[in-house]
Chain A
Amino acid sequence: SSSTGGFQRASSLKDLELAKFASIAETWWDFEGPFKPLHVMNPTRLAFIRSTLCRHFDKDPNSARPFEGLKIVDVGCGGGILSEPLARMGATVTGVDAVEKNIKIARIHADLDPVTSTIEYYCTTAEKLVEEDRKFDAVIALEVIEHVANPAEFCKSLAALTVPDGATIISTINRSMRSYATAIVAAEYLLHWLPKGTHEWSSFLTPEELVLILQRANITVREMAGFVYSPLTGRWSLSDDIRVNFIVFGTKNCQ
């Protein structure tokens, strides 16, 4: 029947996604390697996270460790490029990823520095964490939702992991003509920033769609921003332009 066929298609798509990332796992911490775009974009993502979480949890933005006392989960943590700065900023961090190799790399790298060696890494999924009844003050899933089989279910899992009035932060790529041109054609085929086939344009979500499925998962989006890259300076910055890369900050509704 069509439903079984649909289910099979969904799981095989997911395997393909996993395989793509497993093949380049060793290069996570090579700042000049295939993950360079992510490394270059990282400080800008962290700036958004820092400002929204400090405001929401009433933390001092001038402190070097503003996230002391906060439990944060980095869903789809890869080699840990987001988890490590979060730990340096004082958070108690749990990183999860579905690719075994990524977790191994993340563990080795985090152990090099006592400050980051406290990060807990697990090879698992958001869904499995929900089954274990884990709860976090902030749930962060950056550049993940465009790779999952069922975004609506994924958002429900993220919401289940968030404590009431906790924070959920998701970043992804907009499904727009512009993003097809930049994130697929330019990034993958022309500039070779990303290996070809990294992103499947049809699985991108628009901001409106993301807000809606988050609402259905009991998360109210409070802030949204775009990331814009300037070829002149080689730097990313936060902007109102959400036509390509964008990030949302939402809070879990209190029941």
Chain B
Amino acid sequence: MPLTKHLNVAIIDSNPALGSRPYFNKEDPPDPRVSTVTPATISFFKDVGAWQYIEQHRHAYFDKMQVWDYTGLGYTRYNAQDINKEVLGCVVENKVLHGSLLSCIENTDFQKTIYPSKLSSMTLPPSPSSLGMDSTSSRPPLSSQRHLAKLELSDGNSLYTKLVVGADGGKSRVRELAGFKTTGWNYSQNAIICTVEHTVENGCAWQRFLPAGPIALLPMGDNFSNIVWTMNPKESTNRKLMNEDEFVKDVNNALDYGYGPHPTSSLFGSGEMFSWPRAGVTLSANDCFEVPPKVVKLASERMVFPLSLRHASDYVSKHVVLIGDAAHTVHPLAGQGVNMGFGDAFALSRVIAEGIAVGSDIGEVTVLKKYEAERKPANIMMMGILDGFQKAYSVDFGPLNILRAAALHGAHFISPLKRSIISYASGEQKLPLFT
């Protein structure tokens, strides 16, 4: 963006990956820390010239998705062709995302400095909203840094800046130092993640809701898949420690006949009543339920993460703005978290460019509020939906199970609804319905 080319950017991050040249051994199995990026995020990466680096490393597009639960009462299959697209998303290891963005930064011509350090303290300048009237007419000594925020780093450096962007994750230090309030709760759930191997290639994203939480199987390319399995903390400790063979058996059980039967369509008929008018029926409405490919081997260590929902009540204050997990943390059940973050970054960079076009001070709240007005409602809606799903699927209660299954069934067969859902989850549509 030519309007922002002149801005001087400092990146403060103590992650060692930023210092060394990223080296990926192609023989290594995929790292279990992955992200599912939506088409909207892929567009963003292409716009800034970073996607070309991702394509040089392991990445897995997928165009099919199946969602079902343990009650066997319903299932949904999605296909990218339902919305005339080629992919629903792409699964990429986080280290590949980091490396690509780093390469992109290094090859783009603008002033940047990386500080491999941590933020110790932050001092914000006082607000000049009500300026006192000096009796002396002479100008006070010019302090060129009086209108800037001062950051002190753990390595002793001091930085002065117009705008501090808190992109430092769910436990954001910037958020803490700036005094933003948050609301949220911890889900009494942990997620286990790991890489697994099949005998065949997996080309579909699978998610089955179990009584204690969903298990997701995401394609990673070659014969590998990534597992994200949400469960209560006690089970997560057990499953992390049990031997590999037992774990693999458990996973296959969870994806197959464990906890309940395979869904059939017999409860609600074959969906014929939803299939009229014939025109406009989605391709995937005719797909039968499939069993995911069997896992034959565990290909990485098992990692456990606690899950929570957190939201900052404000995203902006003078000189400070929060993006990504620092502003909002969500349940991984729909693979949306990192995509919301990239959406934030995209929106903020556009708002800054628009502000510069009309000579604004980019640290000014009125400029930054435009970013908040754009992103907060979208993020809150997504969080509400995800949280709603999490709660709806946490309860094993007959009538509710049937209601859920009916909803899943409807989502599978009612074509306009399905298209809306896919478009929304792909990041193309702002609202889930009524667009």
Contacts and interface: CB of A to CB of B under 8 A. Distances in A.
Interface of A: 26-27, 29-33, 39-40, 42-43, 46-47, 50, 62-64, 84-89, 101, 104-105, 107-109, 111-114, 117
B128 A112 contact: yes
Contact of A88 (B4, B129, B134, B360): B360
A169 B95 CA distance: 54
Nearest to B363: A113
Nearest to A31: B366
A171 to B, nearest CB: 15
6 contacts: A30-B129, A31-B364, A64-B5, A88-B360, A112-B147, A114-B142
Contacts of A42: 358
B5 to A, nearest CB: 7
B365 interface: yes
B142 A26 contact: no
B130 A107 contact: no
A228 to B, nearest CB: 17
B243 interface: no
Given A62-B2, A64-B6, A101 B133 contact: yes
B97 to A, nearest CB: 29
Given A50-B357, A108-B128, 11 more contacts: A29-B131, A32-B129, A63-B2, A64-B356, A84-B361, A87-B359, A88-B361, A89-B358, A108-B134, A111-B142, A114-B144
A105 B131 contact: yes
A113 B361 contact: yes
B295 to A, nearest CB: 51
A27 B130 contact: yes
B361 A31 contact: no
Given A43-B358, A85-B359, A111-B139, A26 B2 contact: no
A83 B129 CA distance: 17
Contacts, number: 72
Instruction: State the main secondary structure of chain B at its contact with A.
Output: loop
Contacts of B133: 26, 101, 104-105
Contact of B358 (A31, A50, A104, A112): A50
Contacts of A87: 359
Instruction: State the main secondary structure of chain A at its contact with B.
Output: helix
Given A31-B129, A111-B142, A112-B128, A64 B4 contact: yes
Interface residues of B, number: 27
Given A31-B366, A62-B3, A112-B147, A89 B129 contact: no
A62 B2 CA distance: 6
B147 A113 contact: yes
Contacts of A30: 129-130
A104 B135 CA distance: 10
B359 A88 contact: yes
B140 interface: yes
Given A112-B146, A114-B144, A29 B139 contact: no
B358 A85 contact: yes
B109 to A, nearest CB: 15
B359 A46 contact: yes
B365 A31 contact: yes
A26 B366 contact: no
A105 B355 CA distance: 23
A98 to B, nearest CB: 18
A31 B364 CA distance: 10
Most A CB contacts (10 A, CB to CB) among B4, B140, B146, B357 go to: B357
A26 B2 CA distance: 37
Contact of B140 (A29, A33, A64, A111): A111
Interface string B204-229: 00000000000000000000000000
Contacts of B130: 26-27, 29-30
Most B CB contacts (10 A, CB to CB) among A43, A86, A101 go to: A43
Most A CB contacts (10 A, CB to CB) among B5, B140, B360 go to: B360
